Amino acid sequence: MASNRFTQSLSNFYEMKAIKRSLELAGTKLSTAKIDRFIFTINIFGFHLAKLDIRQNSERHRSALSEVTRQLAIGDEDYGAISESERLAWLQNELDGRRPLFPAVLRFDAETNETIETFRTMARLQDQYGKRALDTYIVSMTRSASDLLSILLFAKESGLYSQDYPHRSISIVPLFETIGDLREAPRIFEALLAMPVYRKYLETRDHLQEIMIGYSDSGNDGGIVTSNWELYKAQKKLVELADSLGVRLRLFHGRGGTIGRGGGPTHRAILAQPPGTVSGRIKLTEQGEVISSKYSLHGIAVRNFERLACAVIESSVTEEHKRQEGIDEPQWIEAMEEISSTAYAVYRGLVYEDPDFVDFFNQATPIKEIAQLRLGSRPTRRTKGSTSISDLRAIPWVFAWTQSRFLLPGWYGLGSAIELYLERHGQSGLQFLRMLFKRWPFFTGLIKKVETTLAISDMNIARYYADNLVADKDMRERVMSRIEQEHARTCDAVLKITGQAVLLEKTEYLRRSIELRNPYVDPLSYLQVRFIKEWRLQKSNEIARTDASENPDLLDPLLDTVLMSINGIAEGLQSTG
């Protein structure tokens, strides 16, 4: 049963209603304005203010169950050593069983104890504030059905999923992030829905399943073209599967602030979603400077909420018509598959297969200096000491390219893909792509996002970063030339498809904004290069303190100047990661 604190919160709410009614009966209706506002606030936010989502990597849950089974000698092998089919069988058996799995007093390692205690804390908080305060549990890097079924087991053991506590609840939300995970998402979802134990759980959720899709890591993994296309396809397949099996689906869009991480105009993005993926329900993230720019002023915040609501309504009321009309025609999908395949190969060929790319990136961008910024909730890399691109988190990845004015994650690969497509299909291919740009919201949105990124980028300044910060001349020229050529190809491709003479020709307000802003931001970029060059030379001569990154108090004035230039450029461009 609910705790006294939760009951008291409900009592306070009804007391406010009673006070308002009493004032009205006493003839002092004008005095109730502030009480009305307070009651509206409670209706929207409850007494907990903002709902909290919990998020943890799937590997942490596997590791925790592995230690539990190993330490308590449950089964012949520990959980981490058995196959996926064996894990599913074991999880279903534990969910059907009545024996407690976790002891009351936890004596595992710190990570396992924390993982288990998180679920127990969720249960206690729901007792105090109700499930409106928190019930969503997001599983990052979901790779298999067992990654989600294991959460159900943790929930059962903590009392979050139990007939004894009907007021408690948990919404298990898989997060599919990489290109491979997005392609596997429908298969994993289908495997889950085939399990009676999971369908029984969904019955307690009114057959509503929330699924989060990641824009950031998919973009990092496969480039903007393939990321957008695989996200689009995954959504379509997930909706079709849910519809066929009687499950209501709510898609949670993990969009970042920048175009390279899924950002851009929200209204246009919602209208570009596949038919049937909105249906009156959508959930999305707003991050970084986007929160300030969209919601810090009341009038602008209201306008953004109105546009978001308008897009959801418009998409929902027209989706049946779109389905009947067959908005995704086979030849459109075939063309996009061809373009995506080429773009993916070109992007991966540079970012993951070029042996000099990591060195070029580390030198030509302020990634090392960004790692020393005293902000952010997580370290720059997932694994300390790693230099691989796959270990680099999406925010610093995009932030570094934005600072150096390359903005590479927001356009690289499209130019070569369109060029090859036109070589294969000739003038008719160009006419076809122009038709897609006019008629297909997905393709329109993709081209417009790339166009905006290209307009913000500046290859002259990017070249200045490379010339002054990359030591190896041969390596610098080879990689930089490759990037410049792809930038030129992409600009040419966008202009051909849109029929414009210059980028953003038909979006004059944005073009003028960039033209007015750049004269103020450009000097900061040149100054930043100078400061970074001096700072790195100082470090190489071992004059700077080597432990500065671990002790912020030891940061010297030169590094402080570099960090101030990073803040200045971010403010000028209105973009971080």
Would you say residue 509 has pLDDT above 60? Answer: yes
397 and 313 within one domain: no
213 and 104 within one domain: yes
In a domain, 338, yes or no: no
Question: How many other β-carbons are positioned within 10 Å of the β-carbon of residue 507?
Answer: 16
Give the DSSP letter string of 32-83. Answer: GHHHHHHHHHHHHHTTT-S-EEEEEEHHHHHHHHHHHHHHTT-SSS-GGGS-
pLDDT at site 261: 65
In a domain, 506, yes or no: yes
Measured CA distances, 3 to 124, 126, 271, 429, 442 (Å): 9, 9, 43, 66, 48
71 and 31 within one domain: no
pLDDT at site 203: 94
150 and 212 within one domain: yes
55 and 25 within one domain: no
Say which amino acid occupies 192.
L
Would you say residue 202 has pLDDT above 90? Answer: yes
State the Cα–Cα distance between residues 239 and 217, nearest whole angstrom: 22
pLDDT at site 384: 64
61 and 9 within one domain: no
In a domain, 332, yes or no: no
pLDDT at site 266: 76
In this structure, which long-range contacts are made by residues 551-554, counting pairs with CB atoms below 8 Å and at least 24 apart in sequence?
552/374
Given CA atoms 270, 273, 279, 285 in this order, what sign does their dihedral have?
negative
352 and 242 within one domain: no
CATH code of residue 205: 3.20.20
In a domain, 204, yes or no: yes
In a domain, 184, yes or no: yes
pLDDT digits over 356-413, tens only? 999 999 999 999 888 887 665 566 666 666 667 777 777 888 889 999 999 999 999 9
Of 44, 59, 76, the last residue of a domain is 44
In a domain, 18, yes or no: yes
Name the domain count of the chain. 3
Contact 488, 418 (CB under 8 A): no
84 and 39 within one domain: no
141 and 53 within one domain: yes
Would you say residue 32 has pLDDT above 50? Answer: yes
Note the residue count of the chain.
577
State the Cα–Cα distance between residues 294 and 556, nearest whole angstrom: 35
In a domain, 218, yes or no: yes
Residue 482's domain comprises 344-573
267 and 363 within one domain: no
396 and 296 within one domain: no
pLDDT band per the 50, 70, 90 thresholds, residue 527: very high
In a domain, 458, yes or no: yes
Q: What is the mean pLDDT of the chain?
A: 86
208 and 276 within one domain: yes
Look up the pTM and report it. Answer: 0.85
Higher pLDDT residue, 34 or 135?
135
Of 293, 325, 357, the last residue of a domain is 325
pLDDT digits over 310-326, tens only? 888 888 887 776 666 65
Maximum mean pLDDT: which of 33-42, 278-287, 529-538: 529-538
Secondary structure class of 268 (helix, strand, coil): helix
pLDDT at site 389: 75
